[in-house]
Every structure is written in C-alpha cells, then in structure tokens.
Amino acid sequence: MADYPTSFDKEALLACARGELFGPGNAQLPLPPMLMMDRITDISGDGGEHGKGHVTAEFDITPDLWFFECHFPGNPIMPGCLGLDGLWQLTGFNLGWRGWPGRGYALGVGEVKLTGMVRPDRRMLTYRVDFTKAVQTRRLTMGVADGTVHADGEMIYQVKDMKVALSES
C-alpha cells in the first residue's frame, strides 16, 4: 500500500486531475466540471463493509452547477449518470491510492437503482464505495465495488458490482 493520506481536499483532488498525485500515466480524476466531488473524507485498502477497501466523499450542491441549466430547463435535475460517474471516479481513485499503476477505465456496473433526485435545493451528496474485490496481478488490475449516493442523508442511488480497471497501455 502506498503512503498517501486518508482524506483529500479539493486542491488535492485537482492535483490528481492534473496527474500530479499518483504520477504520469497513473489514475487521474477528471477536471471540473466533470469532477463529481469536492473532498474525500475517508479512504482505505482494507476497511469498508467487506474489509477490501472503501472510499467516502462529498459533493457540495449549489443551484449554479452546470447541469441544472440544461437538464432540464424549467425542471432542473442532476443527471443520474453523473452520480454513477462519481462512484466510478472514486473506485479508480482508490486503486491509484493503493499505489497500483495504470490509468483508470470504467468497465461496467451490474445493477443501478435510482430512487431519488438531486435538485438545486439539495445541499450535499455523500458517496460511499465499498470494495468487494480488489485484484492486482501481472496481467490485471481491477476493483469491483458496491456504492451508494446519499443526498442530504437520504439514499438516492445504489449500485452493485461496479468494475474499474487500471491499464498501463
């Protein structure tokens, strides 16, 4: 396991997006506006519900976020796919945080349930990723995880079997 902190502020997340945190050719977060979190509050390689690692992060919701203007005019809602992307981003971040080399790629998700919406009056999303498997071999680096998104404490998204891989090619 690499020796990184267990929490990250916005500046550290932006450094990761610029490729400065884990080094060139390794896991990166996207830059804003696609960066779907403001801070990582906790991360581990052996914690979480299954003892295989976890990540917890937060995203501050403000009425001026870019997606509210276009999705949908007169009925602003954060696209559910952006919440899923936030979970994928955190899954890949955890693999880089472990010190595993390669760039991250989302491979899929087994099940997605959207039971609530993010409207401009929400204040904060809390992401939780719990790894069910984290594998690093000569040929494969991959994480499989379940995740949830809570809006102001209410669970609104739940996913099972997210898959993210790291590739050096």
Give, in order, the Cα–Cα distances in Å from 99 to each of 88, 95, 118, 120, 144: 18, 7, 33, 37, 17
CA 148/CA 157 separation, integer angstroms: 5
CA 141/CA 156 separation, integer angstroms: 30
Active site residue 54: no
The single residue of 50, 54, 71, 150 carrying the catalytic annotation is 71
Per-residue DSSP letter, 30: P
Per-residue DSSP letter, 29: P
Q: Which residues pair with 45 in a beta bridge?
A: none
Angle, CA of 41, 46 and 50, to the nearest 5°: 100
CB atoms within 10 A of CB 67: 14
Q: Which residues are catalytic?
A: 71
